[in-house]
Each structure stands twice: as structure tokens, then as C-alpha cells.
Structure 1
Amino acid sequence: MMVAGRVGQGFTGGAMIPTAMTIIALRLPPDQQPVGIALFGITAVMGPIAGPVLGGWLTENASWHYAFFLNLPVGVGLLLLLTLGLPPARTSLELLLKADWLGIVGLPMFLGCLTVVLEDGQRESWFESSVIVLLTGFALFGLLMLVVGQLTAERPVIRLGILFQRSFGSVIVMAVVTGASLYGITYLIPQFLARISGYNALQSGMVVLLSGLPMLMIIPLFPLLTRKLDLRIAIVFGLMCYSVSCYVDTGLTAGADGGDFNFSQLLRGFGQAFTLIFLNQAMTRSVPREQAQDAAGIYTAARNLGGSVGLALIGTMLDRQTSLHTQRLMESVAANSLIVQERVLQSGSDPQSVQLSTVNIFQVMIREATVMAFNDMFYFFAISLLVITPLVFILRPIQRAPAAAIH
């Protein structure tokens, strides 16, 4: 039932972000687009931040089931606003019949199967599992359908050819990495606090929410910043803040708690705000106006793909790094076996005390290995964000004349 619900959410909600970005690019006059992009970017960043808090509060005070009803009032309000704010348009059955159905079916098949392969491959021993082999085949078949649709359809579901435009291609690469970082860090911090610090869902959500404070502080300045500040400088500043915030978290210990994330979360909030909002602006400005709809769809798919792949890789890499560090700690314990034996015998020489002490030592090793694995993940994201920073200089500077508001 939950899987079916998630499929429905993805099917119905997947078009919302690219549609909203297309409306901004096509319906707002050029001089108002920076404001529209900034306001839309704020909602895109605040959603993943506020979600864990609301979900955690409902889980702790009511039931986790109620978290799935959060979108009901939002959806009703959205329908009313769309009805009042957008002019009615007639549905064209002819366009529906001419749609790129190969691409429409192939794209989710490719991305969905690829995500499952990356997420469950480690647990299923990769291609030793018939399920992983089957899903890989479906992913390749979906990719083939997408490519055929690109070559044969009059209006492909997304025009992948614009990826070869230098500025837009660099934006997409940055979108994949920042998407993985946004969703990955939002996943890592609650997991660390739950497994190491013993936090509940609400307490973890409050720590995640801390990164939203910088966003709230600089909301009034964003329309001015998007008009006056070179977006390349803004994106570099955001990526550097984002990368440094991840590096700060590489020194976590088994005694860390939510307070140890205060500085990194505040710094991360500035990084997320500047990176994602100005990256949205770079996307809309890097393609001609007639390609805005395709660009918005690809950009959204890239960021979501980055998030999905990032979460899948986190699960795989956490398991692998935990096993690696556990093995190294066990080797260290074996190399210092006399010291370990003395510590064990301090609790008593009877078999029950020895067994209890041995179990405690093993639990400590697992705990320390888990902390090291989390530190490795934060280091991975810090390096990833640093590596993509030079791509910013591929972006063309934005002309301030109104006629060149979309380039």
C-alpha cells in the first residue's frame, strides 16, 4: 500500500516543480523574474527542512500515519490558487495522442529501476542477485525507449539535446550534486542523531530545521541580491559554505549530540540558500525562452535524480564503510590482545563477566565504526561540492538589460 502511494505521489507531484518554473520563465516579465525565482527557490529549500520537524512532531504526539495527510490542505489551497490565478486552457486530445509515450514510459522506468539497483545492490550482492540483474535490464530498456523517443517523437518528453549547451550542461551537473547533498545531508543528520545520540524524530527534526534560519533571515534581501549580485559569485559562495559545513561535520565522535551540529547547520543554511536559488536563476537564464519548459523539466529531474542516487549511495557506502572500520578496529584489538584481556578481566574472571565485557567491547567497536562511517559520508559530500565549484566559471555572465533577461 505504501509503495503504491509513493508511486502515486511521484506520478502526480513530479510535474509540479518544472511546471512552476516554466510559469516563472514564461509568464513573468523579465524584470520580475529574479523575484519569482528567489521566492520559488525559498520554498524548494524550506520544504525538505521543515518536513522532518512536522513529521517528527506528528510522530511523537499523534501517529506517523498523520504525516501522510500534510499535503491535503496544501493541495486544496493550491487548486484554489491555480483556478483563480491561471487562465483556463482547453485540453487538446490531438496533442495527447502525439505525445512521446516512449519517453513518458521509458524515463520513469530507467530512473526508478536505476535507483533500486543502486540502493539494494550492496545488500543483494549486486549482480549475483537475479532481481538486480532483472532491474538492470529494465533500466537499460527504459533508457533505450527514452533515446528512441528523442529520435522519433515530434515533441520529445524532454529535449536532451539542450544538455550539450555548455552553460546549461554545467548547471545540470551542479544540480545533480547539490540535489544529492541536500537530500543526503537531510537524511544523514537524523540517522546519526537517532543511532548514536538516541534522539527521537522530533528532536532530530529540530536540528535539521536549524539550517532554515539563515534562509528566513535573508529572505527580504534575495530580490535585491538576484538583481545586483553576479550569480557566479553567489553560487561559488554558496558551494564553499556548503562544502565547509560538511567538512566541519567530519570530526564527529560517539559523544556528539545535536549541539555539535549548530555551527555547521547554520553555515549549511547559507550555502543551501545561495546555491539553490542562484542555480535556479542560472538555469532559466542559460537557455532560450522557447526551451524554458524543457530546461525546467531536465533541471528538476537532475536534482531529484541526484537526491535519489545520493540516498541510494549513502545506504551502500554507510554499510560498506561501517564494515571496513569494524574490521580495522577488530584488527587493532587483536594486535593489542594483552591490553584487551586485562580490561576484560577487570570486570571479573568468571565466564559470565568475561562474556559480558567482550560483548561490551564489541558494541563499542560497532558504535565507533558507525561514527567513522558517518564522518566518511560528510567528507564525501564536502569533496563533491568542492569539485563541482569550478563549473561555475563556465556559466556566462548575465546581462542586466531587460531584453536579455532570459538568455
Structure 2
Amino acid sequence: MSAAASVSAGGGASGTAQAPERADLTAWLGVAAGSLGSLMAALDISIVNSSMPTIQGEIGASSSEGTWIATAYLVSEIIIIPLTGWLERMLGLRRFLLIAAVLFTGFSVMCGLSTTLTMMIIGRVGQGFTGGAMIPTAMTIIATRLPRSQQPIGTAMFGATVILGPVMGPLAGGWLTENLSWHYAFFINVPVCGILMILLLVGLPNQRMRLDELADADWLGIAGMALGLGGLTIVLEEGHREQWFESSLILWLTVVTFIGFALVAAGQLLAKRPVIKLALMRNGGFASVIVMGFVLGAVLYGSSFVIPQFLAAVAGYNALQSGQVVLLAGIPAMLMMPLLPMLIARADARLMIALGFLIMAASCWFDSSLSTESTGGAFSDGQLLRGLGQSFCMMFLNQSAISSVAPRDAGDASGLFNAARNLGGSICLALLATLQDQRLEFHRWTLHSAIQANDPAVQTWVASQSVTGGVGPDGLTSAYMSIDSMVSAQALVMAYSDDFVAMTIGILIVVPLVLLLKPLPKGQAPMAAH
């Protein structure tokens, strides 16, 4: 989501009066509520990343199964983001956000109390549904509660929370895990949600419900998105472990996925107002933005997941140390924040997006040269570059999404862009887990096959290790286990490096799409639509 221009999906709150020239205190309290809610929701996407090894150990999940803890949240957000406009209109903005905050608190407590992977995933799904509503609605509050002259201040506040949330999450989760317990990475939401609800009650006006919106809802699209996105994610997550289509589970889930997407397509034709307006994809420029947003989300969430995993498995970092490394990406984002509105008004969006992606590609390429001796310092340059590139891409892509469609479609355009970004993150996490498993086995057996039993150097080393490990069969067994351990360690590092190579290639593939974009109007201020 853009730092200075993001909009809620599908429409804003109804019944709001024209904002005064200078917003009063209650209006700013409403903006503070929106920013706090978006920060909490964005932070909870990644707050489990650095403490994931600890959580996996306590709830009995493998490293590949652990990706579900992050993926479940993202998939739920993808589904809810396009629905926020409809839910705002039906319930009223304040009531909708109060309900979301209360439920988010309950699901956070459920996650903190989890003792099994199933319980954790259910809690994360609930967090995603309720937390996802808080990110797009923050811009609705800015657009309806602040006059145009003060909206850049509100969007800057909001932008800082959205950019910093994913990089602050691992640090916050790491600190809580090391100093208290991983459970408090979820329990911390209880007091924050209490403050949020007070701000919502004071800062937003009450609006009447419009339950007639239920009759006009795109129920086919809603059901289709849940089935299609949920099925697709499970297929990608579990396909490798289940031997893909040799498994009846994967076959049935593939059928469910196709049925889901067919329902979404039917909703496009039959619903008065489709939950997600796919007709906008006929616009080549907008379709390009969606594809690039997908890749942006893949790298944003993929890198913040892979780095803590590597540091825990290879470098022996604890959760707090891993979080400090991930936080480096937030430094350039914060430094660039005051300059981005000026760049939007003067710079060519196509050039800035291309530059941002190339910087991100360079950052991933730098991180692909890992070794068993690599520590957090090996990621410093990559993280700083990635933060800079992401700042450019998020700002200019979101502005391009809004500018490439008619004003009446700005909300739908933003909903699609935000959903694409989260979908990219969700699918990337699933694919990276699969890629890592496959490449780990590939590198392990390739390295083993390169070790020739009749090589004099190998025989000499085995003989020396046999003496160290004991006389006879026990000594040989110890030597063979030592070889396998070293080979497995090297294979794991090579598999992590392949993750970054894959992200580099993905970025470079989409860079030419900037040629399909139109330049933003010169002198244009960052837009806040709702």
C-alpha cells in the first residue's frame, strides 16, 4: 500500500458532511484512530516472523507448516479488502471499525493461547479478516474527515504506519519473545485495541445502518473469493508435500479453486456491484500496475519471512536479533517519507517505478550470495536498498493505479491493487516454502554425489574422523554423520540463496511493464480517494 496515497476498496462512508477548511480535534483523533488501526494490522502481518521458530516448536509445526501462520493472515486480508466499501456502507464506518477492533482483540487472544497449529491458523484467519478492514478504511477517514489542504499530513501519517508496520513487526515480536514470551506478540493487541476503540468513539461520527445493502451484495463473488483464494493457497502450500496431483486432496482442492474463480466470474456478470471490479483489468496500464503490485507484495512479505528463518536456522540468531535486521528496511522508508510527495508532483512515475524495482532486484541479488558463515551483517546492504526501492514502488504504483482509471472507479482500483499486493505475498510465501524444500533436496543430493568414496582426500578425512569418533564401525558412522551434517548445512544455505534468486528474477520480469503506464499529471498532489 502506498505511503501517501491509498484508498479503501469499493467506496467510502456515506452521509459525511463536507470537511471544514481546518479540521478540529475530533477529526484528528479520527485520523489517529485510522493510523493506529492500520499500524496494528500491518504490524501483525509480520510480527510472528522472527519468533516463528519458537512458535513452531511450541505448537508442533514444521518449518514449511509454519508458513501457514503468516499465509492465513494474508489470504484473509485479500478477501476482506474488496468488501470494506460495502461493509462501510451497510454498517456505518464507526460501527464497522468498532466491530472489527473487538473481534481483532478476541482473535489475537486466541492466537496467544494457541497450543496447536489448527488453533493458531483459525486465530490468524480471524485476525486477517478483522485487521484487514483497518488498513483501507484509514484512507476513508482521511478523505472524509480532513479538508483537501490537510490531507497530505494525514496521508503522510498513514503512509508511515503502512511502510513501517511490516518491518517493525519482526522487531516487536522478537523483543516480546525474548523478554516475555511469544504469546505477548498477540496479547499486546489487547491494550492497543482498547485505545483504538476510544479514539473511534470520539473521533468518528455515528451513522445509521443500511441493511438494504445486504440484498445488493455480490454473494457469488464473496463465496468465490473465499473458495478460490483459500483453495489456491492450500494447493500451493501442500502440493509439494502431497506429491501434487497424485494426492486426492490436491485434486479436490484444485476443483474447489476453479469453482471459486468461476463464481467470481459469474458475479462480474450478475451482480449489480461486483465485489471486485475485474473489468478494470481491460485497461492495459492498470493491469500492469496490478501485476507489478503482485510482485511488490511477493518481495515485501517474502523477504521479511525468509531472512528471520535463515538467521535462526543458520546464524543462530534469536528472535530479537532477527527483528533488528529486518527493521533496517524501514530506515530509508522513513528518510524518504518527507520527499515522496514532492517526487510525485515532479518525477516521472514510470522512471521512479522502474528505479524502485531495479533497486529491489539488486537488493535480492546481494542477498543471494549466502554462506554458512553469513550473519545479519550479510543482509545490511540488501535491507537498506530494499527499503528504498519499496518506498518508490509503493508510492508511485498506488498513484498510478488511481490515475489509470476514471475517478468513479478509484476505490475499486485501490481495492484490486491492495488485494494483488497481499495475494502476491501469500502466494510467494507458499512458493518459497515449496522451492526451499525442493532445492534443499536437490542441493543435498548433488553435493553428496560430488563426494567420491575413492577420492584419496575423502578417504584420508574419513580415516581421521573415524579415529576421533572411535574405533571400528562407530567411528565410521560418526564420520559419515559428520559429512551428512556438513552437506545438509551447505544445502540449506544454497536453498535460501535460491529463494533470493527467484525473487530477483521475478522483479526483473515485470520491470518492462512500466512502458505501458501513463505519466502522472505534473504538479499533482498525492490523492486520497475513498
- With the shorter chain as reference, the TM-score category is over 0.9
1:84-130, CA deviations, whole angstroms, 9 ceiling, x for partnerless residues? 44443322111122211111121122111111110111011112222
- The separation in 1 between residues aligned to 2:366 and 2:125, in whole angstroms, is 37
* Aligned counterpart for 2:268 among listed residues 131, 139, 150: 150
Deviation at 1:136, TM superposition (A): 1.5
- The separation in 1 between residues aligned to 2:347 and 2:224, in whole angstroms, is 40
Deviation at 1:339, TM superposition (A): 2.4
Deviation at 1:17, TM superposition (A): 2.8
Contact 1:22 1:296 in 2 (8 A): no
Match of 2:85 in 1: none
Give 3-state SS (helix, strand or coil) of 2:337's partner.
helix
* Aligned counterpart for 1:187 among listed residues 287, 290, 305: 305
Q: What does 1:3-402 align with in structure 2 at a 5 Å threshold?
A: 3-21=121-139, 37-334=155-452, 337-347=455-465, 348=467, 350-400=472-522
Deviation at 1:305, TM superposition (A): 0.7
Deviation at 1:76, TM superposition (A): 3.4
- The separation in 2 between residues aligned to 1:369 and 1:403, in whole angstroms, is 50
- TM-score under structure 1 normalisation? 0.93
* Segment of structure 1 superposing worse, 329-338 or 183-192: 329-338
Contact 2:344 2:526 in 1 (8 A): no
- The separation in 2 between residues aligned to 1:272 and 1:44, in whole angstroms, is 12
* Segment of structure 1 superposing worse, 351-360 or 190-199: 351-360
For structure 1, the 5+ residue unaligned runs are none
Contact 2:402 2:413 in 1 (8 A): yes
Deviation at 1:132, TM superposition (A): 1.6
Give 3-state SS (helix, strand or coil) of 1:340's partner.
helix
- The separation in 2 between residues aligned to 1:329 and 1:317, in whole angstroms, is 18
* Segment of structure 1 superposing worse, 216-225 or 137-146: 216-225
User: Counting helix residues as a fraction of each chain, which structure ranks higher?
Assistant: 1
Contact 2:142 2:155 in 1 (8 A): yes
Q: Percent identity?
A: 49
Deviation at 1:29, TM superposition (A): 6.6
- The separation in 2 between residues aligned to 1:242 and 1:25, in whole angstroms, is 31
* Segment of structure 1 superposing worse, 387-396 or 225-234: 225-234
Contact 1:190 1:205 in 2 (8 A): yes
- The separation in 2 between residues aligned to 1:205 and 1:384, in whole angstroms, is 25
For structure 2, the 5+ residue unaligned runs are 1-118
Residue 261 of structure 2 aligns with an amino acid whose one-letter code is L
- The separation in 2 between residues aligned to 1:197 and 1:20, in whole angstroms, is 39
Using a 3 Å threshold, how does the CA distance of structure 1 residues 34 and 284 change in structure 2: closer, same or farther? farther
- TM-score under structure 2 normalisation? 0.72
Contact 2:341 2:525 in 1 (8 A): no
* Segment of structure 1 superposing worse, 87-96 or 314-323: 87-96
Using a 3 Å threshold, how does the CA distance of structure 1 residues 375 and 350 change in structure 2: closer, same or farther? same
Contact 1:284 1:406 in 2 (8 A): no
Deviation at 1:374, TM superposition (A): 1.0
- The separation in 1 between residues aligned to 2:191 and 2:346, in whole angstroms, is 37
